[in-house]
Amino acid sequence: MFEYRLIAQCPETGARAGELITPHGVIETPVFMPVGTQATVKAMTPPELEEIGAQIILGNTYHLYMRPGADIVEEAGGLHKFMQWHHPILTDSGGFQVFSLSELRKITDEGVEFRSHLDGSKHFMRPEDSMDIQQKLGSDIAMAFDECVVWPTTEEYSRAAMERTISWAGRCKEHHSRVDQALFGIVQGSMFEAQRIECIKRLEDISFPGYGIGGLSVGESHEDMYRILDALCPEMPVNKPRYLMGVGHPANLIEGVARGIDMFDCVLPTRNGRNGGVLTSFGKLNLKNRGFARDFTPIDPSCGCYTCRNFTRAYIRHLYTAGEILAARLCSWHNLYFLVNLMKDARRAIIEGRYPSFRRDFFSKYNEGPIRP
């Protein structure tokens, strides 16, 4: 039910175009995956996501466990039916949220004790619990429970977290039983190249059909992120998908693809969109700025999304000023379209053998910075 096919690869950069076969459809990679944390991509309906070309979206194990509960989603027929999204879904393990949202947590080799960010109630999550929740959710791709370490950290703490992540990955695989759901391992090791390489080799000994790269975009510089990818990606199996978790800046996507990454996700396009921040081919804009009050041009004249085809910067700024919900919807729509289709364009460039020039052209425009009125 799950297979990765490598279609084309750039000999100069290592950029890959492939296909991921899942029970709910084929995913063409590289791909950007909109985040639907609580069984919804904020401000977007499923038909709208289909219109922008989204192929796969994410659900969040921690949040769905907290509310409405995995049992309710299972009773509804699973996450696809519950949210009326009939294409592939990936669920994260809940590990990142357990570590980032709960101020009071206790980590042991058995699992993590934490308090709910909603009501302060105490919970304990083991790798086996994460698997049970994700199997009830019924996603196409589940992620192994891991310990995500923010930067900066020490080499000693990073190694301890890596060892725990590998141990938990083995427990996840042993407990996981749903045959129509692929289970990905997660590579940890912070900014330490040797730890990253060791981690992927030991995870491969356990054997997973795909791998997430966790613990990046957690406070490090872009240069450090690229350094880790440069060291890690050549060590990763060629015939399995590579998922760079939580990364959504356009430049990071282009550089990640150049290093052989297949899958990306991030809350950035909807979070920024709710606050007036928009992505364009020439940089970022904040449409709340007063200078856009009489700017009757699209967000990005080269963009073909619904927002850019129909509305101006001046109108969207007016919506924000007036406190209208439509502002957040239109900007989220545009940002998601921008990233989803940036990856579609990258894929086309890889297949046509011109990814290096595509990459150069992107940065020649993007590095100019935003055009302001």
Confidence at residue 367, expressed as pLDDT on a 0 to 100 scale: 76
Task: Please provide the average confidence, as pLDDT, over all residues in the chain.
Answer: 95
In this structure, the answer to whether residues 43 and 99 fall within a common structural domain is yes
Is 92 catalytic? The answer is yes
What token pair was written down for 203? 């995870």
Rounded average pLDDT over 86-111: 85
Given 212, 243, 266, which residue is the final one in a domain?
266
Confidence at residue 101, expressed as pLDDT on a 0 to 100 scale: 67
- pLDDT, one tens digit per residue, over 220-230 is 999 999 999 99
Contacts of 334 by beta carbon, 8 Å cutoff, 6+ apart: 273, 278, 279, 299, 300, 303, 305, 307, 308
In this structure, the answer to whether residues 248 and 293 fall within a common structural domain is no
In this structure, the answer to whether residues 280 and 327 fall within a common structural domain is yes
User: For the chain, how many structural domains are there in total?
Assistant: 2
Contacts of 364 by beta carbon, 8 Å cutoff, 6+ apart: none
Q: Which of 96-100, 199-203, 312-316 has the lowest mean pLDDT?
A: 96-100
| pLDDT tier at 365, thresholds 50, 70, 90 | very high
Catalytic residue among 129, 140, 146, 265: 265
Q: Looking at the predicted structure, is the pLDDT value of residue 261 above 70?
A: yes
Query: How far is residue 192's CA from residue 113's CA, in Å, rounded to a whole number?
Result: 27
**Looking at residue 69, which CATH number applies to its domain?**
3.20.20.105
What token pair was written down for 47? 């038909």
In this structure, the answer to whether residues 50 and 167 fall within a common structural domain is yes
Q: Which domain covers residue 343, as residue numbers?
A: 274-366
What token pair was written down for 189? 């090791």
Confidence at residue 105, expressed as pLDDT on a 0 to 100 scale: 81
Is 262 catalytic? The answer is no
Higher pLDDT, 148 or 155: 155
In this structure, the answer to whether residues 190 and 290 fall within a common structural domain is no
Q: Looking at the predicted structure, is the pLDDT value of residue 354 above 90?
A: yes
What is the model's pTM? 0.97
- pLDDT, one tens digit per residue, over 336-353 is 999 999 999 999 999 999
Residue among 264, 255, 283, 281 nearest 359 (CA): 255
Catalytic residue among 92, 129, 140, 300: 92
